[in-house]
Amino acid sequence: MVRPPLSRYAALSWLAALSLLLAGCAHRAQTVEQPLPVPPTAAAEIGELRPGLLRGYLDRKVLPDSLALVSAPPAADSPAFAADQEVYQRTRPLLSGARGQLAARDARLEFPQALEAFACAADLDITESATPHLYTLLRRTLVDAGLSTYRAKDHYQRTRPFALNRQASCTPAEEPKLAKDGSYPSGHSAVGWAWGLVLAELMPERADALLQRSYAFGQSRVVCGVHWQSDVDAGRVVGAAAVARQHADATFQAQLRAAAAEIRESRAAGRGSASANCASEAEALKQ
């Protein structure tokens, strides 16, 4: 069907509407393309929850609800709990070897030591001086992922394996504190998986190695004797939810871009990891 030609008035009206539409699109494009202010890296500007622990990106009101995200932990008389016990007992011999030593190192969440766990997988030393935005990104992600586990932790108050079985863990000095803190889901595993997701996004060429190391970081909690396998599995779910929610935060997005620029600069300069422990870490992870 052939349409009749537009009248001059209709054509002008159509062009005016199109111009307004295009102007609006251009304005939105300019708005999107305008760079956000570079987010701070100094604790004095970000704020701290307590000395050494930066505030996260997410207000507590918008943190993922772990109580809604994960089901209840296995009941004591269930096959799932029997499986947890089997994994726990099977990993006890690892505690006294190289894998147990690595698990003890993975237990550290203090900065800068915590990030040594990912230096080999990233082939990059993540430091406050060389990569301040990446360093800050991971410090603040720790808080968002860790805090996201506490609705379920506080609700279920699950007893940790070392306490239930009356056996040693890889961090005996922490046992009194851990015995009072719910085991399910694992906060360490949430943090480690969140770190792995963020790092894999920033370094896609090393994504497999980073996610494998992130997975092992969570498994270290089982080897350590401070979490059941189901705690660790649930922790990864919460960590992934925290990172997904962070992507809706403008400051997180800006810091992510700044961190990506730092990584490109480091790669261009030929900077990798100076860690001498990569070979021994790889051997430990085979156990």
Looking at the annotation, which residues are catalytic? 188, 221, 227, 231
- Biggest CA-to-CA distance, the chain: 89
Question: Strand, helix or coil at 49?
Answer: strand
CA distance linking residue 46 with residue 53, whole number of Å:
10
CA distance linking residue 108 with residue 112, whole number of Å:
10
Tokens of 5: 């030609």
Q: What is the DSSP letter of 53?
A: E
CA distance linking residue 263 with residue 2, whole number of Å:
58
Q: How would you write 228-281 as a 3-class SS string?
A: CHHHHHHHHHHHHHHHHHHCCCHHHHHHHHHHHHHHHHHHHCCCCCCCCCHHHH
Other CB atoms within 10 Å distance of the CB of residue 259 = 23
Query: Are 42 and 129 spatial neighbours (Cβ–Cβ below 8 Å)?
Result: no
